[in-house]
A = this chain, B = another copy of it.
Amino acid sequence: MNSFRPALAAISLALLSTAASAQTPPLEAQAEAALEGDAYAWDFVEGITTEVGPRQAGTEAEARGRAWAMAWLAKHGFANVADEAFMMDTWLPGDIARARVTAPFAQDLTVLPLGNSAATPQGGIEGEVVFFRTFDDLRAAQAGSLAGKIAYISHQMRPAQDGSHYGFAGPARWVGAGIAASKGAIGTVIKSVGTDHHRNPHTGGTSFPEGVTPTPAGALSLPDAENLERMFARAEGRPITMKLEMNPRQVGQMRSGNVVGEIVGSNPMLPPVLLACHIDSWWNAPGAFDDGAGCGIIAAAALNAAKAGQPLRTIRVLMAGAEETGLWGSKAYSTAHINEPMAVGIESDFGADRIWRFDSNFRETNPALHKRIAAAVARFGVSAGTEAATGGADLNIVRDQRGALIDLQQDGTRYFDLHHTPDDTLDKIDIVQLRQNVAVWTQVVGILANESTSIQTGGPIPSAPPIMQGQ
């Protein structure tokens, strides 16, 4: 029970702090005010989902999303707002996605293509469905054994607070179609990598190995996948055949872009604090949880932290383009800015539910700062974890620089109910939990942006980015 004593002490301090709120420092006051009312995060995510909607990477809709975000940032006082262009391979989903069991139990199933799926010929493909209960079963299938057939890959993904079942079930989507194709399959359908039971498939990228020609690849909604599995039970050995028709396509190099904006710090010699999210979404949803909310949260935190006074360091927001289809924006940003040292990176890209844990990758190298942040967020119900933060998908630049990273871990219990489905809409955001995110972020960003020593080490600021020193 000893382990609870520090927590009780923290509670006592928090009560004391509330009682003495007249002396609360401005940053703490800004963070706490966010719990009561949020002028920015909701407005951002409500605005972009309502006024723009889905923002598939490389489309005019994504461009409208960037323009909308730039206007929002400028209106709210961000400096140096820009759309940093890059080109990237672009896949589009098409407008036909049909799966139909043709025998023995004729019935349509709800399907959406996976990113990088090939198109079927017009009229579709038809083949016997081979049922793989797990990804390992598919890997164990003999070479050539799927010739002329359609692979179906199941899994048993369950909700997990830390989202860790995504790693457990994800391979079925990430590489399943490529493995099936390498064994001769003419197409693949998977049970959606998700945890809900609605007729809305979860899309997401898949990749085909070098030398394997991409095939059509789709995700069935979970009710449809379960229905297909019941068909196998009821067919008693009779073959189940499926017709699959989809028309996605690769359209070559298209323009995307990274939207950036800054709260300018008072000391231009100090590397900036980088806050990341992504501005694109899949075509099938307005991207409220993924990642309109994240962009709203980081922008709100920057603005709230600035209300406590101009920070020492510049706070830069990076709303990356084309994250979903291959982290194109993240890579482009790193390439363009690799020689510009970043003090620390944090990303919000896991919905809008409550933050419950704080991790950093400087717990051992700068324990004082790690503990200071942990103590500051404890009153919002955030514990300090012991894992090394690895940063979000759009923080390639910080990873490439081997820089400081923080993870503000959100509750992911229902994240995979919504992830990459048409159901990722504004109504899913719980405004109370969204505000808790803004409060925690405000607190953390404010501390970081006013830190005068190296965030990684607590020592003097390096004169060149760490990655450059070894070159």
Contacts and interface: CB of A to CB of B under 8 A. Distances in A.
B52 A426 contact: no
Contacts of A421: 199
A205 B370 CA distance: 61
A428 B197 CA distance: 8
Contacts of A427: 197, 222-223, 226
A51 B200 contact: no
A409 interface: no
A423 B428 CA distance: 17
A234 B200 contact: no
A110 B104 CA distance: 31
Given A226-B427, A427-B226, A108 B199 contact: no
Contacts of A425: 197, 199, 223-224, 227
Interface in A215-269: 222-224, 226-227, 230-231, 234
A427 to B, nearest CB: 5
A286 B64 CA distance: 39
A157 to B, nearest CB: 15
A139 interface: no
A50 B286 contact: no
A428 B196 CA distance: 11
A176 interface: no
A311 interface: no
Q: Which 10 A-B pairs have the closest CB atoms?
A: A53-B107, A199-B422, A223-B425, A50-B230, A51-B105, A197-B427, A198-B198, A223-B427, A199-B423, A198-B423
Interface of A: 46-47, 49-54, 61, 64, 104-108, 110, 197-200, 222-224, 226-227, 230-231, 234, 285-286, 421-423, 425-428
Given A51-B231, A110-B422, A227-B425, 19 more contacts: A49-B227, A50-B227, A53-B107, A53-B227, A54-B107, A54-B108, A61-B106, A64-B106, A107-B286, A197-B423, A198-B198, A198-B423, A199-B425, A200-B200, A222-B427, A223-B423, A223-B426, A223-B427, A230-B426
